[in-house]
Amino acid sequence: MKLSRMLFFVLVLFLLDQLIKSFFVTQGQMGSLIVYNQGISFSLLSQFPWRSILPFVLFLLIGFFLQKQSYGMALLIAGGLSNLADRLWRGGVVDFIDLKIIPVFNLADLLISMGCILTLIELIKQEIKE
């Protein structure tokens, strides 16, 4: 994936997550359950809010080190940036999807989870080829 395409993909996903949160969730359009999460994806490490930025920084460093320009890395970066923007602008990550069987989450958490899975698959495929 070319860097320009990856950056465009990241921007579109980032804006989509922020628009959903801004226009639908804060307006009460997607239901009444809104959680301001201080942790990482799915409320993990919420008792240590300062640590919640570490996984995002770690994935950025891994991506930079591996020089991976892939859909998996784009998903990770978009989700991480969107949740980071929430922390800076809203004081916590806005979570609003409640499936009752896992902690409340948002689109950015899904992007991060899917990005981890895709990146691992991409790395395994690359190892198999070599």
Catalytic residue among 17, 86, 98, 109: 109
8 Å CB contact between 45 and 51:
yes
Residue tagged active-site, from 17, 86, 95, 98: 95
Of 79, 46, 47, nearest to 60 by C-alpha is: 79
Question: Helices 71-90 & 107-129, crossing angle to 10 degrees?
Answer: 150
| 95 flagged as catalytic | yes
Q: Which residues are catalytic?
A: 95, 109
